[in-house]
Amino acid sequence: MKLRSSYVCQQCGYETASWYGKCPNCDTWNSLIETVKEVGKQQESKTARPEGTKPQKLSEVRHIEKNRLKSGLEEFDRVMGGGIVPGSVTLLAGDPGIGKSTLLLHVLAAAGGLYVSGEESAEQVKLRAKRLGVDGKNISILAETSVESIVSTLSTLSDLGNLVIVDSIQTLSSDDLDGMAGSVGQIRRSAEVLILAAKTHGIPIIIVGHVTKEGAIAGPKVLEHMVDTVLYLEGERFANARILRTLKNRFGAIEEVGIFDMSDSGLKEVSNPSALFLQDRVKNVPGSVVTVILEGTRPMLVEIQALAVPTQLAMPRRVGNGVDYNRLQLLVAILQKRLNLPLGGYDLFVNVSGGLKIAEPAADLAIALAILSSFKNKAIDPKTVVFGEVGLLGETRRIVSEERRIKEAKRLGFSAVCAPSNTPSLSKAAQLVA
């Protein structure tokens, strides 16, 4: 067997034959690690690809929609584009401790299959399953970190069930490589081997991947390119709401999101997210405004809270939780200029309920009104919902899916809407707290 060694950047996955102090691709220092490859073995696996190389009539290609596996966990299936495609490989990424293992155990309990755990022992997984109220009759567990043993187990089992979960890619290593588990080379090699196994057995595999502090999926970008679907589970660690997003899906749309509620007994599907995000709302208090955001294609009502207090500092504080900091600065400047609010003497705090993060400008008007409401110490009518982008001139600007947002607000019992269609400017909206 021929051995070849190359240097692989642990940041971006760039490969080179010689060592550099700085990665020529992404300019990171000291990130190239020598990785040994068995050339012979790789070529062998290439030729063994089960799809073969014969062209096929497009009309004869089997239609995936029919064969999708419904896990039975509705929020999950919807995010996957209507179920899991056989032989597909999905990466579930998210911060450590956010609930990836919990979610997948729920999925597996519904679908039935094999749980490969490289992080926890069989007993630990059992404990978690007990907590979730999962009896585990249709789940097999394998505690293993060698990717070769995993795939050889897969090929010896007569009944794999419907789905294989691998938790997590960072704990796997290939016997063919020298690098430590979690290194770029190991992650890539492990993924390669698993993808081949998924295609060979026609079984879907879901791989867990942790995310680094900077928010990137630990390991090379190439991992995202290799798999069919990339899901992202996010939320605030100490808030209950969890949002499952699709970053990439070769078999479906990417705008769907799934909403879950983390409880003591696991993740509960949330079919009515607006009710969840508004459940703790206190009405008729200054500084509280309800807005409608769009997550994927779903409108959701959330509460924006603001607090304006006289500052003791030369530079007043602007703190936003769940809102973009620059956007907040901009809205404060618009409020100062267009409504003549002396906010320079006030510290401002803005919060979004449920630990949500709002990325769209649709919440501008609600954020501005919440600040104004707290500043004036006057509550706005609790049955009014507010949304719309605010421009630099103090004008309100239309946003996508106004109709759908209004419908969702009506459904939850809101009777008045303050939106660009009936409120052309910030000063007009300010009359709500006049």
Residues forming contacts to ligand TYD in the complex (CB under 6 A) are 94, 96-102, 128, 131-132, 262, 264-266
Q: Least distance to ligand TYD from the beta carbon of 265, Å?
A: 5
Distance of CA 26 to the CA centre of its chain: 25
Token pair of 358 as six digits? 């709002």
The CB density around residue 34, as the number of other CB atoms within 10 Å, is 12
Q: Least distance to ligand TYD from the beta carbon of 231, Å?
A: 12
Q: Which is nearer to Mg ion, 101 or 305 (CB)?
A: 101
Q: Which is nearer to Mg ion, 101 or 374 (CB)?
A: 101
**Contact status, residue 270 vs residue 261, Cβ threshold 8 Å:** yes
Q: Which is nearer to Mg ion, 102 or 374 (CB)?
A: 102
How far, in Å, CA of 44 to CA of 63, rounded?
A: 30
Q: Least distance to Mg ion from the beta carbon of 138, Å?
A: 20
DSSP, collapsed to helix, strand or coil, labels residue 420 as coil
What is the residue-wise DSSP string for 246-265? EEEETTS-S--EEEEEEETT
Q: Least distance to Mg ion from the beta carbon of 66, Å?
A: 33
Q: Which is nearer to Mg ion, 170 or 373 (CB)?
A: 170
The site that binds Mg ion (CB under 5 A) totals a number of residues, namely 1
Site for Mg ion in 121-150 (CB under 5 A): none
Q: What angle do CA 104, 107, 113 make, to 5 degrees?
A: 95
How far, in Å, CA of 114 to CA of 193, rounded?
A: 17
Q: Least distance to ligand TYD from the beta carbon of 126, Å?
A: 12
**Residue 305: strand pairing partners:** 288, 351
Q: Least distance to Mg ion from the beta carbon of 257, Å?
A: 21
Q: Does 183 bind Mg ion (CB under 5 A)?
A: no
Q: Which of 219, 212, 205, 266 is nearest to 96 (CA)?
A: 212
23 Cβ partners below 8 Å, 6+ apart?
A: 9, 11, 12, 14, 29, 31, 32
Q: Which is nearer to Mg ion, 97 or 215 (CB)?
A: 97
How far, in Å, CA of 414 to CA of 301, rounded?
A: 10
Q: Least distance to Mg ion from the beta carbon of 201, Å?
A: 24
Instruction: Give me the sheet containing 266-269, strands edge to edge.
Output: 139-143, 113-117, 163-167, 205-210, 89-94, 229-234, 241-249, 257-263, 266-269
Stretch that binds Mg ion, among 82-90, 101-109, 124-132, 290-298 (CB under 5 A): 101-109
Instruction: Output the residue with the shortest Cβ distance to Mg ion.
Output: 101
Q: Which is nearer to ligand TYD, 163 or 328 (CB)?
A: 163
Q: Which is nearer to ligand TYD, 22 or 131 (CB)?
A: 131
Among 101, 162, 288, 351, which residue interacts with Mg ion (rule: CB under 5 A)?
Answer: 101
Q: Which is nearer to ligand TYD, 94 or 388 (CB)?
A: 94
- Using CB distances below 5 to 8 A depending on partner kind, what does residue 328 bind out of Mg ion, ligand TYD, none? none
Q: Least distance to Mg ion from the beta carbon of 151, Å?
A: 21
DSSP state of 74: H
**Residue 416: strand pairing partners:** 384
- Using CB distances below 5 to 8 A depending on partner kind, what does residue 336 bind out of Mg ion, ligand TYD, none? none
| Residues near Mg ion, by CB under 5 A | 101
